[in-house]
C-alpha cells in the first residue's frame, strides 16, 4: 500500500481533472506548471482515457487519485482493486455503503506491494439531510458518516472521504492520523464567497485543514479559474497558513 507523506502543502492537495478527454485534462496539468503533486481522475475522465492517462501522469512525475467509488459485490470490487494496482494509482475510492464484506474484500485485495491506499466514501458532499431522507436514511449526515467510517475502519480500511463538517467528529472518534487514525480526504472545498454549485456541505481550504483534514480535493475553483496556477497557489497558501500559521 502506498505510504503518503505530507512534507509540503502540495502533498495535501488533489486537483480534480473533471474533463471528458485526456487532452483537456493534460492541458490543465500543463497550465498548473508543476505546482500540484496529486491529480484526481474521476469516472468521466477514466472511462474516456482509461489506464493510459494514469501512465502518462505517472511518467510526468505526478501521483494519481483514482476516484471510481467502487460499489458492487465483494468479488467484483476485489478484482477491480487488483486491476487498479496494476495501473499504478496511489489512491482509490470505494463506497462504504457497499457493506462490511465488500470493504473487507477490497482491503484484502489492497494488501499487496504497490496497491493503492483505499478511501471509503461516506456521504457525498452533494447530499444533505433531506437528500439522505429521500433514500431512506433518517439520521443526520454526520451520524451516517460516522457509522460508515467505523464500518470501513473495522473492515481494515484506514482512509475515508467526508465533508469538512464531519472532520472534527471523525478525528474525535477515530483518532489523529499521526496516531494511527484515518486519512481524511475532503472534497467540497470552495474559496470564501464563491459559488457552491451542486455541493451542499462545503468549507474553505483553511477551515478543512484546521479541522484535521489530511488532503483536500479541489476541482471547479481551479479548473474554471482564468488563471488556474494562481488559483492553485492561493489554495496552497491557505493550506500552508492552516498548517503552520
Q: And the C-alpha cell for 131?
A: 437528500
Burial class from Cβ neighbours inside 10 Å (0-12, 13-18, 19+) for residue 123 reads buried
Q: What is the DSSP letter of 177?
A: G
Quick one: which H or E segment has residue 233?
Answer: helix 228-244
Tell me how many helices (H) and strands (E) the chain has: 10, 8
Residue recorded with cell 498548517 = 243
Task: Give the CA count within 13 Å in the CB-facing half-sphere of 227.
Answer: 6
The backbone torsions φ and ψ at residue 85, rounded to the nearest 5 degrees and listed phi first, read: -60, -40
Spatial contact of 204 and 234, defined as CB atoms under 8 Å apart: no
Residue of 9, 160, 2, 21 lying closest to 89 (CA atoms)? 2
Give the contacts of 51 (CB within 8 A, at least 6 positions apart): 87
Residue of 67, 7, 68, 2 lying closest to 37 (CA atoms)? 7
Spatial contact of 128 and 141, defined as CB atoms under 8 Å apart: yes
Give the contacts of 135 (CB within 8 A, at least 6 positions apart): none
Active-site residues, by number, are 69
Amino acid at each position: 500500500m502506498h505510504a503518503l507523506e505530507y512534507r509540503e502543502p502540495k502533498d495535501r492537495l488533489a486537483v480534480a481533472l473533471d474533463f471528458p478527454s485526456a487532452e483537456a485534462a493534460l492541458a490543465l496539468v500543463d497550465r498548473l506548471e508543476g505546482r500540484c503533486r496529486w491529480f484526481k481522475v474521476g469516472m468521466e475522465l477514466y472511462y474516456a482515457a482509461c489506464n493510459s492517462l494514469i501512465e502518462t501522469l505517472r511518467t510526468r512525475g505526478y501521483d494519481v487519485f483514482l476516484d471510481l467509488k467502487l460499489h458492487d459485490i465483494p468479488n467484483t470490487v476485489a478484482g477491480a482493486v487488483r486491476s487498479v494496482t496494476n495501473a499504478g494509482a496511489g489512491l482509490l475510492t470505494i463506497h462504504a455503503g457497499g457493506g462490511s464484506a465488500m470493504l473487507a474484500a477490497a482491503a484484502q485485495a489492497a494488501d499487496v506491494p504497490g496497491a493503492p491506499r483505499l478511501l471509503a466514501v461516506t456521504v457525498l458532499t452533494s447530499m444533505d439531510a433531506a437528500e439522505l431522507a429521500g433514500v431512506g436514511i433518517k439520521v443526520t449526515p454526520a451520524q451516517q458518516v460516522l457509522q460508515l467510517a467505523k464500518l470501513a475502519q473495522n473492515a481494515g480500511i484506514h482512509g475515508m472521504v467526508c465533508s469538512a463538517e464531519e472532520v472534527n467528529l471523525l478525528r474525535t472518534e477515530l483518532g489523529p492520523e499521526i496516531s494511527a487514525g484515518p486519512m481524511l480526504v475532503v472534497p467540497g472545498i470552495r474559496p470564501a464567497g464563491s459559488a457552491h454549485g451542486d455541493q451542499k456541505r462545503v468549507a474553505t481550504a483553511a477551515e478543512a485543514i484546521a479541522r484535521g483534514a489530511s488532503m483536500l480535493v479541489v476541482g471547479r475553483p481551479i479548473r474554471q479559474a482564468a488563471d488556474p496556477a494562481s488559483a492553485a497557489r492561493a489554495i496552497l497558501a491557505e493550506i500552508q497558513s492552516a498548517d503552520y500559521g
